[in-house]
Amino acid sequence: MLHIHRAERADRLVDALARVIADPPDALGIERVVDPADPLAAEVVAVPTRGVERWLVQRLSASLGTSNGRRDGVCANIDFPFPGRLVGGAVAAAVGIDTGADPWLPQRSVWPLLDVVSDCLDQRWLAGLAAHLGADEADVDNHRRARRFSAIRHLADLYDRYGVHRPAMLRAWAAGDDVDGAGAPLPVDVAWQAQLWRCLRDRIATASPAERLADACTRLRDDPNAVDLPVRLSLFGLTRLPASYVDVL
């Protein structure tokens, strides 16, 4: 069950969060997914930044575990993950992929993407990127050649963000349909991104996170016990959430 708390001031939201955390899940009628006998199961509160985490710890310690009329509490055994790590971990676990070894992580996908770009630099559809990287043998601009890794890493990060914010677009690309996030045909000057992504997918030979999303959501709905889910999950201070995150949550 989803409960949304709104307030004009963040400190009022902290008070509401403290009341939620102070109530055992069993008292709220929440069915436990993990061992009910585990007294050390951590509370999970997703936060957008580490600054918000530090502020929350300070504010929650003023109310959790306090003596009557005093502010001598403590904030302990609370996990503060980023939403991306939380959602990504749930999706990976649902489809049976080791999160740390996922080949689509940007720090991993950059290497096969470098190989793909090197193999395709002489292709006409990649001429714009080739010129940006100084791939022409007659080009003596070594500065442009030296920035190849940073440019390709930027592309790997870009594809990763597409998977989070525009999963339907990547699924269309996988099917050979070069469209943008709204479903309109890609402009000619950026259509190479779709072709390059398909080449990368062929090289990695594993379904992308965007393609795993629907299957993961189905498995999580049908069998929540298949994944080590927290008893209760709170999200605090998030100004927005990608639609893919909302689907998983």
Average pLDDT for residues 71-95, to the nearest whole number? 86
What residue has token string 């971990």?
Answer: 89
Q: How many CB atoms lie within 10 A of CB 27?
A: 8
* Domain coordinates in residue numbering, the chain: 10-98+216-248, 104-205
Q: Residue 183 has what pLDDT?
A: 93
Output the CATH code of domain 104-205. Answer: 1.10.10.160
Q: What whole-number distance in Å separates Cα of residue 233 and Cα of residue 211?
A: 25
Q: What whole-number distance in Å separates Cα of residue 211 and Cα of residue 72?
A: 49
For 133-191, what is each residue's pLDDT tens digit? 876 655 545 656 668 899 999 999 999 999 999 999 999 999 999 999 999 999 999 99
Beta bridge partners, 185, equal: 179
Kindly write down the DSSP assignment for every residue of 196-225, as one continuous string: HHHHHHHHHTS--HHHHHHHHHHHHHH-GG
Kindly write down the DSSP assignment for every residue of the chain, as one continuous string: -------SSHHHHHHHHHHHHHS-GGGGTPPPSS-TT-TTPPEEEE-S-HHHHHHHHHHHTTTTTPPTT-------SEE---HHHHHHHHHHHHHT--GGG-TTSHHHHHHHHHHHHHHHTTSGGGHHHHHHTT--TT---HHHHHTHHHHHHHHHHHHHHHHHH-HHHHHHHHTT--B-TTSPBPPGGGTHHHHHHHHHHHHHTS--HHHHHHHHHHHHHH-GGGS---SSEEE-S-S---HHHHHH-
Q: Which residue has the higher pLDDT, 89 or 103?
A: 103
Q: What whole-number distance in Å separates Cα of residue 99 and Cα of residue 79?
A: 18
Alpha carbon distances (Å) from 78 to 34, 75, 132, 218, 223? 16, 7, 47, 28, 25
Same fold across 10-98+216-248 and 104-205: no
Topology (CATH level 3) of domain 10-98+216-248: Rossmann fold (3.40.50)
- Report the mean per-residue pLDDT for the chain: 86
Q: Residue 131 has what pLDDT?
A: 87
Average pLDDT for residues 213-238, to the nearest whole number? 85
pTM across the whole model: 0.80
Q: Report residue 154 as tokens.
A: 């930027």
For 206-223, what is each residue's pLDDT tens digit? 999 999 998 898 888 888
Contacts for 195 with CB less than 8 Å, ≥ 6 apart = 125, 126, 178
